[in-house]
Structure 1
Amino acid sequence: MNTKITGNHLLELGFRQGKWMKEAIAHINENQLEDEDLNSYLKQFKSPDPIALHAKPVDFSINIKAENEEEEDNVAKVINSMQTLMKTPTLVDGAIMPDACPAGPDGTIPVGGVAVAKNAIHPGMHSADICCSVMLTDFGKADPKAILDAAHASTHFGPGGRDRNIQFRFPKELLNAFESNFFLKDKQMIQIARTHLGTQGDGNHFLFVGTSKKTGHTMMVTHHGSRGPGARLYDKGMKVAERFRKDLSPETKKQNAWIPYDTEEGQSYWDALQIIRDWTKKNHEVLHDAVAQSLEIDIENRYWNEHNFVFKDGDLFYHAKGATPLDAKFMPDITGPRLIPLNMSEPVLIVEGNTTSTNLGFAPHGAGRNVSRTQHRKSKTGTIMQIFKEETKGIDARFFSKEIDITELPSAYKNAQTVRNQMEEYGLGKVIDEVMPYGCIMAGDWQKNAPWRIKRDKKRQRNKR
């Protein structure tokens, strides 16, 4: 009589633990499989041979050049990181934009990078700020100051979400979509999606008001992503991708792990990304609509685009980490041209453009940085207020936390004209209008007076007594 097969037997034979084991063990024992019959049946469960890295980097387009010594170091780091990245087995093409800057250890897709994968979604290549995007609303001849004041009263910057009494309504269709998706249906995810609706976060996210160079109309532009829901989806996606990496390609760097699209997990993750995209678009809309409602004014026009997302074209997945899609095929709800902000004292560029073999259908997403926030902070002299007044002369620049963050002032970013020149040189979109700056709102240094910091400082003072 045959020895009863157990999970331990299969593990000893080199098979990996999985949901398949229970059904396979039952089948083997019921049919008393052994020897050749057993081996033949188990072949279907054998892990495939590991997928090796590309022997050399896949070619990618370099739409950037250094114009001074500081930029040389930045560009070299970006190119080196892309060369390592492009050894990832799924990748077939790539590009870097004029605003590119490093975003992590060697082999991490840089900000301003595009990586094209075949039948694979790489969560690390869209990062935690899924669907970081910009929306423009044209308020016609409205007073720019009135728009900025109304926006300041209704927006929300900083950590966390809105208090219950100032939350926006969470649309039923979005709630149904969250509840129907494996990655999004947990209660905490949905609660965060409710409270974070109508919030802008921190960092380089902003609310900008200006006037069209072409029409003189007052326009409001918001820049932010998917906040807590997107960050939670990213974490879940990275865990799933890591499981696949261990099985499929252990040599691949952890930050470049992928979820095969033709798996149940891949389909569900792709659907989750589209739902998060819808949520993020609504996250912009509620803030723009609130301004129109509070001032009782009409909206003349509106359009938006993401610049931190994954775009699908057949079996190819374009991972844009800080790159603006020019090609209409990437945006099913396209309603106008694209938006490229530079810094608070520069115009927001309104652009359109064609796909080429070197831009892959993308343009820059902004001005980017040549140095880190820490390096920039160390390079400045004078008081914070002196620096602020000098760099924001002529514009109504506000920080929501009432604490100035000098790492978000214009000098923290690459030279805007350099980016524009390289856009033209490399065929990365044509500027058709500009939103000339009136003023903006950013989070500011919200950590300076954060509750945890105040509590810590009080404790230190007590301990000194």
Structure 2
Amino acid sequence: MAKLKLSGKELRAIGYPQGPVISIAMNVMEKNYKHEKKEDVMELLKKILSAPVEYENDAVLGLIAQQLIPKKIVETGEAIPLNSTGIQFNVFGSEHIEEGAMHQMHQAAKLPISVAGALMPDAHAGYGLPIGGVLATENAVIPYGVGVDIGCRMCLSVFPINPKELIQRENLYTRELQEATLFGSGAVFDEAADHEVMERNEFDELPLLKGLQTRAWKQLGSSGSGNHFAEFGLIEIGEKDAILGIDAGVYVGLLTHSGSRALGANIANHYTKIAKEKRRLPGDAVNLAWLQMDEPEGIEYWLAMNLAGDYASACHHIIHEKIARAIGERPITMVENHHNFAWKEMMVTPDGKVKELIVHRKGATPAGKDVLGIIPGSMTAPGFIVKGKGEEASVFSASHGAGRKMSRTRALAAITQKDLKEQLQRHGVKLLGGGLDEAPHAYKDIEVVMKSQSALVDIVGKFTPKIVRMDGTAPKKWKVKNQLDGE
């Protein structure tokens, strides 16, 4: 029997008001009544609409009814204490991780919703969950456990091009990096690109998203600022891997790193504010406020987060498609992954039960068994195509990069233009844009990071940057928040 599928148009036709209730109703019914006849489900929805109070306390349908009942004045959320000890979590490459990140992970481990956790070797302090932090929770999602840049991700296109072309036709590849995307925190296109993600129902059904759609359309295919980049480089495959499926050899690669732009940032900040109002946490844990997955705000955030992730993916695909057309080549494969996101995953809990948990990876790469991903280095250091080993001790995760060893403020004070120029020349890298705050000197040694997680991933390919484009705007006097990348 086909699974139940509803549309916002159908719900509006029977009288459901425009707003979050439509997405919530669709989600609840498609999950809990997926094998029922559509006409029976629609009849039940009509009954809820006509008398929502009668369904207010229903364990399932109450989520819909509560949206239809006039809202009461919301009281200040209850103060929630942390557990005194907290769950155990594993740390990889602990000798290279700053105390601030360790402290934040210990705070996250004390949340009453926490089930499992791990800290990656590129970790450093962030907001709420540290960057490089992985946390599995039960029936709860933490907006700042995902991060502000929802769906920040890597995307690699592998082209069957002679590597010598990057030198012989350097001007072509440079021009295409310049023309294919925009950098800068407020950058927008004069003419919006087209992609099916912009037609998603969530833009109509969640009031917050409706107000963000126009700007999101103008930023579709852009790349942002900070540590985001688009670059050409050489891909080395030592031997054919069954999962990657590429013969041994050297290829040309296009690698991009960016997220969901203003769309994701607005979603993160909006729902973090709601989470903080509902659940007041003490001291340094305040940014770890969560939303329950069975309450309206949690359902809304989950829908919005997934949309932002799909939007981020669309931005990458638009860039890669533009460049592929311009250079007249089609990639033989693509490798891509989110590293600021939350997933529903089945895991064995400490009490031996198998449960669906919410796994937050904030600046961490999914590394389930045979799952491919990209872990970049810096503008001069190599990145790696990796294959997960499915290590439960790391909550099936690995690092998302080399990780910063200097804040942006410290980098701007400590590194000179001469230092950066010498480093670029030494590695034969052409830099378009990019500032001292993103100089290679500000990052940990990627080789050391990879050794620290050899039990988590296998390296199946190496990417060496050659032409790198980043944001070219003048560095700002960074505030603390802006010192943090990967948020």
TM-score normalised over the length of structure 1: 0.76
In the alignment, structure 1 residue 298 sits paired with structure 2 residue 330: yes
* Cα 1:49/1:372, change in 2 over 3 Å: closer
The amino acid across from 1:113 in the alignment is: G
In the alignment, structure 1 residue 204 sits paired with structure 2 residue 245: no
Match of 1:159 in 2: 185
Please give the alpha-carbon distance, in whole angstroms, between the structure 1 residues aligned to 2:471 and 2:149.
16
In the alignment, structure 1 residue 147 sits paired with structure 2 residue 173: yes
RMSD of aligned alpha carbons? 2.7
The amino acid across from 1:124 in the alignment is: Y
Please give the alpha-carbon distance, in whole angstroms, between the structure 2 residues aligned to 1:337 and 1:50.
41
Match of 1:277 in 2: 309
* Cα 1:124/1:416, change in 2 over 3 Å: same
| Contact kept in structure 1, 2:78 and 2:279, CA below 8 Å | no
Please give the alpha-carbon distance, in whole angstroms, between the structure 2 residues aligned to 1:448 and 1:54.
40
Query: Structure 1: which 5+ residue stretches go unaligned?
Result: 1-22, 25-44, 329-333, 450-465
| Contact kept in structure 2, 1:310 and 1:317, CA below 8 Å | yes
The amino acid across from 1:96 in the alignment is: L
Please give the alpha-carbon distance, in whole angstroms, between the structure 1 residues aligned to 2:375 and 2:409.
25
Cα shift readout 1:99-149 (whole Å, capped 9, x = no counterpart)? 011114xxx321111011110010011121111100011121163333343
Alpha-carbon distance, 1:49 to partner: 7.6
* Cα 1:294/1:125, change in 2 over 3 Å: same
Cα shift readout 1:325-366 (whole Å, capped 9, x = no counterpart)? 0126xxxxx9x7210001111222000022223111001000
Please give the alpha-carbon distance, in whole angstroms, between the structure 1 residues aligned to 2:296 and 2:234.
47
The amino acid across from 2:273 in the alignment is: K
Q: How does 1:178-257 map to 2 (within 5 A)?
A: 178-182=202-206, 184-187=208-211, 189-214=212-237, 215-246=249-280, 253-257=285-289
Cα shift readout 1:55-77 (whole Å, capped 9, x = no counterpart)? 212111111232xxxx4xx4333
| Contact kept in structure 2, 1:183 and 1:269, CA below 8 Å | no
2:359 paired residue among 300, 311, 318: 318
* Cα 1:153/1:324, change in 2 over 3 Å: same
Match of 2:298 in 1: 266
Q: How does 1:55-454 map to 2 (within 5 A)?
A: 55-66=84-95, 71=96, 74-104=97-127, 108-141=128-161, 143-144=165-166, 145=170, 146-165=172-191, 167-169=192-194, 171-182=195-206, 184-187=208-211, 189-214=212-237, 215-246=249-280, 253-314=285-346, 315-327=356-368, 337-380=372-415, 383-384=416-417, 386-393=418-425, 394-400=427-433, 404-424=434-454, 427-447=455-475
Cα shift readout 1:262-294 (whole Å, capped 9, x = no counterpart)? 112212211111111111100000011001112
Bigger drift between 252-261 and 197-206 goes to 252-261
TM-score normalised over the length of structure 2: 0.73
**Count of matched residue pairs:** 380
SS at match of 1:269: helix
Bigger drift between 90-99 and 349-358 goes to 349-358
| Contact kept in structure 1, 2:142 and 2:291, CA below 8 Å | yes
Give the structure with higher Rg (CA).
Answer: 1
Alpha-carbon distance, 1:50 to partner: 5.7
| Contact kept in structure 1, 2:197 and 2:314, CA below 8 Å | no
* Cα 1:443/1:129, change in 2 over 3 Å: same
Match of 1:463 in 2: none
The amino acid across from 1:266 in the alignment is: G
SS at match of 1:351: strand
SS at match of 2:175: helix
Alpha-carbon distance, 1:79 to partner: 1.7
Please give the alpha-carbon distance, in whole angstroms, between the structure 2 residues aligned to 1:158 and 1:176.
26
Please give the alpha-carbon distance, in whole angstroms, between the structure 1 residues aligned to 2:209 and 2:324.
32
SS at match of 1:344: coil
Alpha-carbon distance, 1:371 to partner: 2.5
Alpha-carbon distance, 1:448 to partner: 6.7
Query: Structure 2: which 5+ residue stretches go unaligned?
Result: 1-51, 54-73, 238-248, 347-355, 478-487
The amino acid across from 2:203 in the alignment is: E
SS at match of 1:293: helix
Please give the alpha-carbon distance, in whole angstroms, between the structure 1 residues aligned to 2:442 and 2:124.
13
Match of 1:455 in 2: none
Q: Percent identity?
A: 27
* Cα 1:46/1:418, change in 2 over 3 Å: closer
| Contact kept in structure 2, 1:158 and 1:446, CA below 8 Å | no
